[in-house]
Amino acid sequence: MSRRTVLRDHHGERYSFQLRLLVAITAVLIGFGILLGRFVFLQVIQYDKYHTLAESNRISLVPIPPSRGIVTDRNGVVLAHNFSAYTLEVTPSKLPGKLNDTIDALAGLIEITAKDRRRFRKLLEESKDFESLPIKTRLSDEEVARFAVNAFRFPGVEIKARLFRHYPMGESASHLVGYIGRINDRDLKKLEEDERLAEYRGTDHMGKFGLEQSYEEVLHGKTGYEEVETDAGGRAIRSLRRSPPVAGSNLVLTVDIKLQQLVEQAFGDRKGALVAIEPSTGGVLAMVSRPGFDPNLFVDGIDPVSWRELNDAATRPLNNRAIQGLYPPGSTFKPFMALAALETGKRRPHDAIADPGFFILGNHRWRDDKLDGHGMVDMVKSIVVSCNTYYYKLANDMGIDLISGFMGPLGFGSKTGIDLPGEKAGILPSQEWKRKAFKRKEQQRWLAGDTISIGNGQGYNSYTILQLAQATATLVNNGVQYRPHLVGFIEDSASRERRPVEPQPAKQLPYKPAHIEVIKQAMVNVNLAGTSAQAFASAQYTSGGKTGTAQVFSLKGAKYNASTTREELRDHALFVAFAPADKPKIALAMIVENAGFGAQHAAPIARKAFDYYLLGKLPAAEAPAPAQPAPPSPPPSPPQSPIEEFMSRPHVD
C-alpha cells in the first residue's frame, strides 16, 4: 500500500494566524479604548457629578430648625414662648416587631398614659410611617437616663431634644394668639405648592390658628444646615461646616393683656365677645371671646377625647365670637342710623316726632319698649332713651338703599381686614342682597316692612362685634377709619430692632364735624342720664355709649319674660362705648349672649374696662356669676320673617 505525501500550506496558515491575532489585538485595543474612554468620561467629564455623589455618601446634610419668634403684649408680657425639653420618639418603619408591643415595653421604663397613647394614634393616622412621632414629651432627667441605658433594646426609638411652644396665659387671649400644631400631609402639600418646603426641613410644627397662623412666615425663621462627616455605618465622625439657623421674628401686639384678662374675668361663665380699639391707630387693645380654650393642648397633638370635648361642645369654645359670630346689633345701630339721617338730609337734630308707643305701616304695628310712648322725641332724645318708634319711622323714610349705601363704608357687612384668619363678612341687607340670598322668587322681593326692623338693628342685620367696634371707633375718630390690627411691631429676635406695622388710614369718611358732634354728645348723655347711666355713675371721666338688646327667636306675639325663658333663648345684651369723650383713647363693642338687657349686663363690663385703661384701676377678683336657672319650656316654633319676629315685641335696652 503506497503512502501518500501530505503537503501543508504554510503560507495560508500563517496568514490565518496573523489575521486572528490582528482581530484579537484589535478587540483588546477596542476594549481598552472603551475602558479608557469610560474612565475619562467618569473621571474628567462627569467629575463634578460623581464627586458630589461620593461626598453625599460621606457627608450628611442635617437641617437645624430655627427657634420660633415669641409673642408679647404691648407692655412686654410674654404670651407665647419656647422652652427646650426631651421627647421620646418612635419611627414605626424602623421597628423590628409590632408597634403595640414596643409601646408596652417602653411603658415598663417610662410612664406612658392612656392620653399619650390616644395622641400618638391620632398622630400616626395623620403622618407617614417613616416619620418620627412623639410617644412621650417633656421627659425628666431621670426618664432620659433610664431609657439611655436600655436604648439598645429599642431599635427605631430614640430621645430627641426639641423646642416646645408654651402659652403661659392658658385660656386668656387664646383666640387671638392661636396655637401651633404638627405639620400634616395637607400642610406639606401646601408648602410644596408655595415652594417653601425647604424652609421647613427638620421642622415638625407650624401655626394652625390665630396670629400663630397668620404670621407664620414671620415667626418661623430660616432653617440652618450642618455638614456632618459619617463613616460607612452612618455614624457621625465630625462636623465639617455649619450654617446657623435664623430665629423667627417676635410679634409685639397692640393688646393690653391685663385689660384682656380683666374683661375675661368680668364675663365669668357667660358667653360673648368684646373688642376694644384705639381709635387713633386702629390697634386692638383687647379681643375677648368667651368661653376660651387652652392652646397648650394642641402643641404636642391633641388627643381625640379632648378634641371631641372642644369641638362638640354646645358653647363652641373654638369659635372666635369676635370675628366669626354674627349678631343683629340691636339698638347699638341707632347712633349710626341717626348719623345717616343727618348726612343724607332726612333729619335735622331738632326735628321731633310724637311717639305714641308704636309705628303702623299697612296692617302691621311695631311696638316701642314704652307702651304709652316717649312723648315728643328729637334725635338726641331718641338715642338717650332708645326710642324705637323714632327709628321705625326714620328707616321707612330713608328706604333700604339709602341705609345700606351709608352703612357699607362704615364697614358693616364686609371684612375689616384684621390680621387674623377666619373673619366673617356678615350681612348688610339690601335689595340686591335679598335677590341673591333667596332662591324662591316671591322671597327675593324687598318689602317695605323689611326696612322697618333694619332701622332698629334687627331683621336681616347680621354683623361681627369687630365690625361694630370698628364703626364706633370710626365715628368717634371723626370719620377717620383705620384697619383694625393686633400686631404693633415686628421685632428682630437678634438685634431687637422693631419695624412698626404702620396704622395707615384706610379712608377718611366725609362726615360733617357738626353731625358727628351731635351723635357723640347724644351718646355721652346715654352714659350720664340715659339707659347706661347707672353703670357709669360717679365715673372720673366722661364717656359715651349706647346700649342694645337683640332677640334670639320669635315670640309670635307673646310677651317676653326672661325668667320663664330658657337661657339659650334669652335676648343678647350689647353695648358700644368710647372714652374720654373729648379725645377718645378707647372705643369698644361687646355682646353678652342670652344675658338680657344691655344696660344691666354689658355696660358694667365696659365700665370696668374703662376704669382700668384710663385710670389704672384693677377690681378685686370676683367669682364668676352663675348662670341664672330657668324652668324648662318647649322650644318655640321656627321664625317666619324678620318683620313678624320683631314687630310684635317691645325692646328694652
Q: What is the per-residue pLDDT across 528-551, written as a single tens digit (0 to 9) for each?
A: 999 999 999 999 999 999 999 987
Percentage of the chain surpassing pLDDT 90? 54
User: What is the per-residue pLDDT for 576?
Assistant: 98
> How many whole angstroms separate alpha carbon 476 and alpha carbon 485?
18
DSSP structure string for 524-573: HHHHHHSTTTTTTTT-SS--EEEEEEE-SS--TTPPP-GGGS-GGGSPEE
Q: What do you get for the CA distance between the two ends of the chain, in Å?
A: 149
DSSP assignment of 403-432: HHHHHHHHTTTS----SSTT----B---HH
Please report which confidence band the pLDDT of residue 566 belongs to, taking 50, 70 and 90 as the band edges.
low
Average pLDDT of 257-267?
Answer: 96
Distance CA 173, CA 602 (A): 20
Buried b (16+ CB within 10 A) or exposed e, 70-106: bbbbbeebebbbeeeebbbbbebeebeeebeebbeeb
Distance (Å, rounded) from C-alpha 349 to C-alpha 381? 10
Asked if 491 contacts 251 with a C-beta cutoff of 8 angstroms, the reply is yes
Binding residues: 355, 368, 374, 387
Predicted confidence band of residue 4 (pLDDT cuts 50, 70, 90):
low
C-alpha cell recorded at residue 564: 320663664
Cell, residue 424: 366673617
Q: Return the active site residues.
A: 331
User: Can you tell me the distance from the alpha carbon of 384 to that of 357, in angstroms, rounded to the nearest whole number?
Assistant: 16
pLDDT digits (tens, 9 = 90+) for 596-645: 766 788 999 999 999 999 999 877 554 344 433 333 333 333 334 433 44
Give the Å distances, CA to CA, from 163 to 134, 566, 583.
Answer: 13, 48, 46
Sign of the C-alpha dihedral computed for residues 530, 532, 535 and 538 taken in this order? negative
Mean pLDDT (whole number) for 320-343: 97
Strands 71-72 and 250-253: parallel
Cβ distance 361 to 492 under 8 Å? Answer: no
pLDDT of residue 196: 87
pLDDT value at position 558? 45
Q: What is the DSSP letter of 309?
A: H
Rank 10-14, 33-37, 361-365, 426-430 by mean pLDDT and report only the highest: 426-430
Query: Worst-scoring range by mean pLDDT, 67-76, 176-185, 618-627?
Result: 618-627
The number of angstroms, rounded, from the C-alpha of 505 to the middle of its chain's C-alpha atoms is 23
Higher pLDDT among residues 608 and 7, named by residue: 608
Q: Are 465 and 322 in contact (CB under 8 A)?
A: yes
The class level of CATH for 61-253 reads alpha beta
Domain with CATH 3.40.710.10 in the chain: 257-313+320-490+502-615
CB 293 within 8 A of CB 171: yes
* In the predicted structure, residue 275 carries a pLDDT above the cut 80: yes
> What is the CATH code of the structural domain delimited by 257-313+320-490+502-615?
3.40.710.10
Alpha helices in 127-170 (DSSP H): 141-148
Q: Which residues are annotated as a binding site for Zn(2+)?
A: 355, 368, 374, 387
pLDDT band for 649, please (50, 70, 90 cuts): very low
Q: What is the torsional sign of CA 414, 72, 184, 244? A: positive
Could you tell me which residues are beta bridge partners of residue 409? none
pLDDT category at 49 given cuts 50, 70, 90 is low
pLDDT at 401: 94
- CATH 3.90.1310.10 residue window(s) in the chain: 61-253
